[in-house]
Structure 1
Amino acid sequence: MFIAFCNLLFVLWTWRPTPTPDTVTKNVVVLGGSFAGIELVRRLVETLPTGYRVILVEKNSHLHYAFNFPRFAVMKGHESEAFIPYRGVERQAVVGILTRIQGVAVGLTQTQVILASGERIGYAYLAIATGSSQPLPARVTATEQEEACRELRGVQGIIGASERIAVVGGGAVGVEMASDIKDFCPDKDVTLIHSRERLLNGFGERLGAYALAALRDELDVRVLLGERPALPVHVIRGGMAGPAALTFSDGNVEEFDLVINCTGQRPNSSILSSLFPSAISKETSRILVRPTLQVVAADDTPNAAEKETNIFAFGDVAEHGGPRMARAGWMQAPVVLDNILAMIRGKKPSRKYTPDLFIEGAIKLTLGKTHSVVKKPYAQLTVSDSSKPNKKSDI
């Protein structure tokens, strides 16, 4: 914190748009202003030398605090709290060092970012932090706060009008969605369906077992494991729809008033498809990166050699070997920062990203209104229940 403050003071005193009147300011462009991207922007405005500025390209007017979307898709009156203004990072920046453009990047050249509006932005360095996409209610499609709040209120209304609800997907979003619906609306008949044999299979057995017990025994949520019913097309496309019939492995067909799809994430990697198509993994659709988080760039020809590139990718969109969680993006931002600064100084990028699973792999999972559990790799579960003020224990 002290070092960051000193860096900021140094930039405040020394930064100028250009070293001389006849030189051009060079752009460090960051695509995506969610948790990973905004952390890099925050650090760049504290450290960039004279002659460089940051341009943040982000489609949304506010940072979407998507962790709270499952809760605010059920609980009424708080949905505006899930959208955080960007003015905090803008206020701390030296005038002229940061420009935020609300827009969508649709293409790249070796030197420019092309926006949907037709505008072209030159870049000396580019950092791609475009994350991943999911349908409602894990994400919203609106780019303005009021319209996004309207989407969440629409979900609240649909859930309120439905009696039999199926939540498909036993990851964090599905577990929180099912538990919140049942806790806020105890009269609803809620079924959580997961294709694996245990919930939260990416976080270890203890967390999955604990969540299963809380859902079944405390909240009375019906949980079906090892089931992969075919979802209707309108559910896949829209994320939620109803009424719908689901067919299970035993041939049983059940009707639901509402089916909510909480499965999978789609990396937003298509921005590289024209410039470096081979840099997009055919298996995962994520962007392939070196340990320095530089994009693995090569001409799309047989036996083409890798190039040293000024393009970086990190966060959920990148194939970096670490968890796809916000903490991992925060930990990767300094790696990108240091390597960009090294290249500005004429040096080779040398800082490498090594996943720290203890920090980056931690998760805090809510199980209804008052109950939560924290899981850190190689550590015990920490359980808290705010309905019982003194209850907090490791299990």
Structure 2
Amino acid sequence: MTATVVVVGGGYGGASAAKALDDVAEVVLVEPKEQFVHHVAALRGLVEPEFAERIFLPYDRLLKRGRVVRDRAVAADAGTVTLASGERIDADYLVLATGADYPFPAKFSDHDTAAAKAKLRAAHDELAGAASVLLLGAGPVGLELAGEIKAKWPDKAVTIVDPAPELLPRFPDEFRAEVRRQLDELGVELLLGTSVETPPATGGFTVETADGTKVTADLWFRCFGIVPATGYLTGELAAARRPDGRVEVTPELRLSGQERVFAIGDITDVPETKMARAAGQHAEVVAANIRVLIGGDGELTKYEAAPPAMALPLGPKGGASYTPETGLLDAATTSEIKGADMMIGNFATLLGLD
């Protein structure tokens, strides 16, 4: 009998794991969104409405043998997933890949593609009409959004506020200095080591930071606040859920205390930067381990947390990248990695669309 693998979540890691197991198992991919959303390119889609059309990709060619169920998991234990529709799916192996919620426009909560596109277009129109923008959060999202805005509209005033005293503290000085240099060149104002205690109002506003600096802007975006999506876990699986929402995993990416339940991506407690690339690497390990368990022979693969690495675009032609192997990479190289296409082609290939 063919083993049933239920993958909960069709993002970067879930889609990759489902495809990798399609030839050896009966794969059921549970995903509430109508189409795969390439969130890596969402900020480019905000400033370029035509580009936004390209970040939504259909699931219908992802699997050749398995099936994609458009529904939301409301409960999951070691052997069964219960959907919002009431359907229950029994699983021999379970892969949890539900990712994390994050403020719009970096991620969309809308399940319907037309609604997501309309929301993104409305935000674009509001942004286009704003003379000044406040971004709360100087992490990768805030910095990338600042770069996209200034590349599209150089005359807009963009201010970033963050309580951390330094940019990207986990990365080497040369990388951080290059990012800071390009932000200065773009005219982005950085207010570090301070915060805005009360969320700004909608429309034009003036806020005062904790250190007394006043910022006036027409529009603001929250660029922090990742929330792992694990509230649906029940029974034994809920025991692996930490107070921050992430789940404890073994080196083989099995859920702590479980033999046939695995976790991928943002929901894991793996100590590394949560990025699409890491989710894809998790998927490779999980798929390999499930194949070993199904076959009944071979050694399980252990995942090694990735060291800090980043490709940070600051608009289509700007940005900087860093890996321990290559060191600092300049704007031109970063543009080649992510620039014009924002890696859409890679995920179109994953989904069988090329």
TM-score by length of 1: 0.79
Higher RCO, Cα 8 Å, sep 6+: 2
The 5-angstrom pairing of residues 71-150 of structure 1 reads 71-90=44-63, 93=64, 97-150=65-118
After superposition, the Cα gap between the structure-2 partners of 1:293 and 1:249, relative to the gap in structure 1 and judged at 3 Å, is same
Q: Deviations over 1:197-229 (max 9, x none)?
A: 22223433322221111111x211111111221
Q: Deviations over 1:123-158 (max 9, x none)?
A: 111000111110111111222222211111111011
Q: Structure 1 residue 352 and structure 2 residue 302: aligned?
A: yes
The equivalent of 1:280 in structure 2 is 241
Q: Structure 1 residue 222 and structure 2 residue 182: aligned?
A: no
1:340, 1:349 within 8 Å by CA — same for their partners in 2? no
1:61, 1:144 within 8 Å by CA — same for their partners in 2? yes
Unaligned runs of 5+ in 1: 1-17, 19-24, 236-240, 298-307, 390-395
Looking at structure 1, the residues matched to 306 and 245 of structure 2 have their Cα atoms a distance apart, in angstroms, of 23
The 5-angstrom pairing of residues 152-301 of structure 1 reads 152-216=120-184, 218-232=185-199, 241-282=202-243, 284-297=244-257
The equivalent of 1:373 in structure 2 is 320
Looking at structure 2, the residues matched to 214 and 176 of structure 1 have their Cα atoms a distance apart, in angstroms, of 11
What SS is found at the alignment partner of 2:181?
A: helix
What SS is found at the alignment partner of 1:295?
A: coil
Q: Percent identity?
A: 30
After superposition, the Cα gap between the structure-2 partners of 1:63 and 1:201, relative to the gap in structure 1 and judged at 3 Å, is farther
The equivalent of 2:18 in structure 1 is 41
Looking at structure 1, the residues matched to 297 and 233 of structure 2 have their Cα atoms a distance apart, in angstroms, of 25
What SS is found at the alignment partner of 2:329?
A: strand
Q: Which amino acid aligns with 2:171?
A: F
Q: Which amino acid aligns with 2:60?
A: R
Deviation at 1:191, TM superposition (A): 0.5
1:212, 1:223 within 8 Å by CA — same for their partners in 2? no
Q: Which amino acid aligns with 1:220?
A: G
Deviation at 1:98, TM superposition (A): 0.4
Looking at structure 2, the residues matched to 295 and 109 of structure 1 have their Cα atoms a distance apart, in angstroms, of 11
The equivalent of 1:238 in structure 2 is none
Q: Which amino acid aligns with 1:144?
A: D
After superposition, the Cα gap between the structure-2 partners of 1:277 and 1:89, relative to the gap in structure 1 and judged at 3 Å, is closer
Q: Which amino acid aligns with 1:120?
A: R
1:269, 1:286 within 8 Å by CA — same for their partners in 2? yes
1:179, 1:215 within 8 Å by CA — same for their partners in 2? yes
1:107, 1:274 within 8 Å by CA — same for their partners in 2? no
Q: Which amino acid aligns with 1:251?
A: G
Looking at structure 1, the residues matched to 147 and 331 of structure 2 have their Cα atoms a distance apart, in angstroms, of 15
Unaligned runs of 5+ in 2: 337-354
What SS is found at the alignment partner of 1:279?
A: coil
What SS is found at the alignment partner of 1:107?
A: strand
Deviation at 1:339, TM superposition (A): 2.1
1:171, 1:201 within 8 Å by CA — same for their partners in 2? no
1:273, 1:280 within 8 Å by CA — same for their partners in 2? no
Looking at structure 2, the residues matched to 150 and 226 of structure 1 have their Cα atoms a distance apart, in angstroms, of 36
Deviation at 1:349, TM superposition (A): 6.7
Q: Deviations over 1:63-82 (max 9, x none)?
A: 11111111111123221111
The equivalent of 1:303 in structure 2 is none
Deviation at 1:275, TM superposition (A): 4.2
Deviation at 1:194, TM superposition (A): 1.9
Q: Which amino acid aligns with 2:189?
A: R
Of 192-201 and 246-255, more deviation after overlay is shown by 246-255
1:124, 1:310 within 8 Å by CA — same for their partners in 2? yes
Q: How many residues align?
A: 335
Could you say which structure has the larger radius of gyration?
1
Output the aligned Cα RMSD.
2.3
After superposition, the Cα gap between the structure-2 partners of 1:350 and 1:76, relative to the gap in structure 1 and judged at 3 Å, is closer
1:198, 1:209 within 8 Å by CA — same for their partners in 2? no
The equivalent of 1:300 in structure 2 is none
The equivalent of 2:331 in structure 1 is 384
TM-score by length of 2: 0.87
Looking at structure 1, the residues matched to 172 and 296 of structure 2 have their Cα atoms a distance apart, in angstroms, of 44
